[in-house]
Amino acid sequence: MKMSTRMTIDDIAEALGVSKTTVSRAISGKGRISEKTTERVKTYIKEHNYKPNAVAQSLVSKKTYNIGLVLPNENEAFELPFFQNCMKGISIVASAAGYDIMISILEGRRIDNIKRLVENHKVDGVILTRALVKDESIKYLKQSGVPFIVIGSYDEKNLLQIDNDNYMACKELTTVLIAKGLKRLALFGGDSDFYISRTRRKGFEAAYKKMGIPVDQSLIYMDCLKDSDFSVLIENVMRKDIDGILCMDDKIAAEVIAKCNILGINIPKDLRIASFYNSSLLDNSIPAITSISFDDGRLGQIVAKTLINKLEGAEVQSQVIKNYSIILKESTS
């Protein structure tokens, strides 16, 4: 016989002839109660398919079973495949562990949304999907004492962070291209306020150092998505006798490809193009674009599992995941 969905701890206590306190202790595993009685209660629960009310559970354990997922801003977060794939990985692991995801969108450096989640006790922990230089979110969460994890790298010890090995991936791709004879590469970079942009730039520069070639700093253009005119940028670097353009991510690469088509620049005949990040945004590019492919879904799963383990009292560590492959295609042939 199945227990009614309306049945409560009171009903279990009455059926077994014990107190409500005894039933609660048997379910939670806390408090003094004999093994025989605990086993009797658990057997009854199993036989009748009893599931404790989630709200009641949270009140007893002082847990919400919610995780806050903080995204940088609405347009960027929901347009870029990186965030979509990460969210999917995070959700799969969280759901399997009995946690729900609460999404919070931040505008710039304002952290009102995070404060609301924390101060209203809506979440047990927080996942930051992107780290800024001098990040107010990180500063606040450290002060609040709420467990949190950062997707990406941050120059601070004892901060729980999980990241793809962007530095080595960018260094490796740049090294391969230089070895192919593309020694004068322009770099079109992302927002310099983001640590990921700085990490990718370091990987690019490290490749030149490895190959014994000085970096031409005049060929490095950061903050390209901040009201930049890509037509002007491309025309400018073409006058500098470059071998190709390395784009920090797929969105920048898509912009460069579109402008090259308008300007009548043939890829790869006139200009080689490669991207430090591959996604569905580049799937239909002609020619196919050389890039770095990361498994963002797996990254999200590892992040969620690490935070949940921390919430449940386990010892956890930061990780840098070698989670990529270099894909050479027609755009750099």
pLDDT digits (tens, 9 = 90+) for 113-169: 889 988 888 999 999 988 877 888 888 999 888 999 999 888 777 889 999 999 999
- The pLDDT value given to residue 305: 96
- The pLDDT value given to residue 79: 62
Scan for tokens 């009614």, then name that residue: 4
- The pLDDT value given to residue 131: 80
Query: 55: which DSSP letter?
Result: H
Q: Higher pLDDT residue, 108 or 244?
A: 244
Can you give the residue ranges of every domain in the chain? 9-58, 66-164+296-323, 166-294+326-332
Q: Check pLDDT > 60 for residue 61.
A: no
30-34, 190-194, 231-235, range with greatest mean pLDDT: 231-235
pLDDT digits (tens, 9 = 90+) for 162-173: 999 999 999 999
Third-level CATH fold of 9-58: 434 Repressor (Amino-terminal Domain) (1.10.260)
Mean pLDDT, the chain, integer: 87
Q: Which of 67, 58, 57 is nearest to 9 (CA)?
A: 57
Structure tokens given for 204: 């690019």
* Mean pLDDT to the nearest integer, 94-101: 92
Q: Higher pLDDT residue, 35 or 302?
A: 302
Fold match, 9-58 / 66-164+296-323: no
Q: Return the beta strands (E) in the chain as ranges.
A: 66-71, 100-105, 125-128, 148-151, 161-164, 185-188, 220-221, 244-247, 272-275, 290-294, 319-321, 324-327
- The pLDDT value given to residue 226: 77
Structure tokens given for 111: 């952290």
Scan for tokens 């386990």, then name that residue: 314
- The pLDDT value given to residue 328: 95
β-pairing, 161-164 vs 185-188, is unpaired
Judging by beta carbons within 10 Å of its beta carbon (0-12, 13-18, 19+), is residue 260 exposed, middle or buried? buried
In this prediction, what percent of the chain has a pLDDT beyond 90? 52
C-alpha 255, offset from chain centre: 23
Minimum mean pLDDT range among 58-62, 255-259, 307-311, 326-330: 58-62
The domain covering 66-164+296-323 belongs, at the CATH homologous superfamily level, to Response regulator (3.40.50.2300)
* Mean pLDDT to the nearest integer, 242-261: 92
What global pTM score does this model have? 0.76
pLDDT digits (tens, 9 = 90+) for 177-219: 999 999 999 999 988 888 889 999 999 999 999 999 999 999 9
Query: 62: which DSSP letter?
Result: T
Looking at domain 166-294+326-332, which CATH architecture does it have? 3-Layer(aba) Sandwich (3.40)
